[in-house]
Structure 1
Amino acid sequence: MHFVEAYTDDQQRLIFAGAKILLLLLTAASVHRSLSPPNPSVKSEECCSGTAGTDTLFERVVQSITYCSKCMVWLGAVCDIACIIGRLFLLPAWTNGFGWIGHVTEDAREHIPTMMLIGATLATFAAGLRIWCFNALGPFFTFEITIRPKHRLITHGPYAWVRHPSYTGVYLTLAGATLVLAAPGSWTAACAVRTIPGALAVLFWAAKCTFAFRGMVVRLRAEDAVLRDTFGAQWEDYAARVPNKFVPGLL
């Protein structure tokens, strides 16, 4: 960002601080929107059962996982913003993290890591993709595997390109959030991992994401099976026209 070289050191610090705060807020808001169900949760008796993959631990805790993910991203973003503001206005209590956040060096605060830019871009794109999926499925989009009354096989919007675009959105959401929170100079990378609670939180995030990724692989197979049983030849024709699950022409 050579355009900032025309500004004084204080002005440059203010520009970079403001940009990082915006990226953090954008990432947290994107994650929140992506992982918030667009429709009310369905009752357990309305969920599909009897098909492999529809009665797993992941299915029982999926709402808790998404809620936990949103809380952790907001916590990381708020703590990072607190450190940025504390460093900007020379507030030692904030910069040192209220006794446990830790200390972030000056050099780490005077640039925007490429890792953060990529992560924020991924999270924002993922939110847009998820919203597109929400709108395409309308009342049929739930965080549980269900066949709603008067259910229709949706093949337009993002579903005209891949069969499971909402899962692509989740993968990109979690990947983007991870890149932003783990970027060099971030609160998580510079401070949290140096404490036992912070290190445990990072390990929990990694384990949670791994569990979610595996759970979604099992779930999408179950979804395909349920849709095949429900719509028969209509689904078979759709699957033949749209063979990819996540990325057009690749996956």
Structure 2
Amino acid sequence: MIIIGLIMIMTGEFLRKLAMYTAKQSFSHLIEDKPNKEHRLITHGMYNYYRHPSYVGWFWWACGTQILLANPICFFIYLLSTWFFFADRIAYEEATLIRCYGTLYRDYQKRVPVGIPFIKGCP
């Protein structure tokens, strides 16, 4: 289980860092409700495979830490709390992205999955 946990942690951290590097100034920890002239819709790199690669990375990293620690109760608590957090955050963030980018973001949604199991994003 240690190896599985380490692989999940390293993969998650790599995805998160790569997402931040790819998005550069368009990456922010805050969801902006209004268009920011410095931000662009990023659809290349890891964003070509996942709409939210930073969240995917954080999700797998968080679950991997509990596998590494061999803590099954906390694993399920982390899994559920992280999943519900991102399901809510992604729906809200995508609603703002649809307002900012319209059809461009809608087309991107159709092509690229969220990346976290069973989260569909904003309808």
Same fold (TM over 0.5): yes
- Correspondence for 2:42: 154
Paired-residue identity, % = 29
TM-score normalised over the length of structure 1: 0.41
In structure 2, distance between residues paired with 1:150 and 1:139: 7
Q: Which has the larger radius of gyration?
A: 1
Partner residue of 2:11?
A: 125
Three-state SS of the structure 2 residue aligned to 1:131 is: helix
Cα displacement string for residues 119-159 of structure 1 (whole angstroms, at most 9, x for unaligned residues)? 00110111111111011111222222125332210001111
The CA distance in 2 between the partners of 1:220 and 1:156, in whole Å, is 19
Q: Which runs of 4+ in 1 moved over 4 A?
A: 205-209
1:229, distance to aligned residue in structure 2 (A): 0.5
Once residues 50 and 114 of structure 2 are traced to their aligned partners in structure 1, the CA distance between those partners, rounded to angstroms, is: 5
Of the candidates 218, 224, 236, which is equivalent to residue 88 of structure 2? 218
Instruction: Give the structure-2-normalised TM-score.
Output: 0.80
Name the CA distance, whole Å, in 2 between partners of 1:163 and 1:208. 22
Matched residue SS, 2:86: helix
- Corresponding residue for 1:7? none
| Contact 2:63–2:78, Cα closer than 8 Å, also in 1 | no
Instruction: Determine whether 1:231 maps to 2:117.
Output: no
Structure 1 gap segments, 5+ residues each: 1-114, 184-188, 190-201
Q: CA deviation at 1:206?
A: 6.0
| Consecutive unaligned residues in structure 2, runs of 5 or more | none
Number of residue-to-residue matches in the alignment: 115
Preserved CA contact (<8 Å) 2:26 2:38: no
Matched letter for residue 158 of structure 1: M
1:63-212 maps to which residues of 2 (within 5 A)? 115-146=1-32, 147-182=35-70, 207=77, 210-212=80-82
> How far 1:210 moved relative to its partner?
3.3
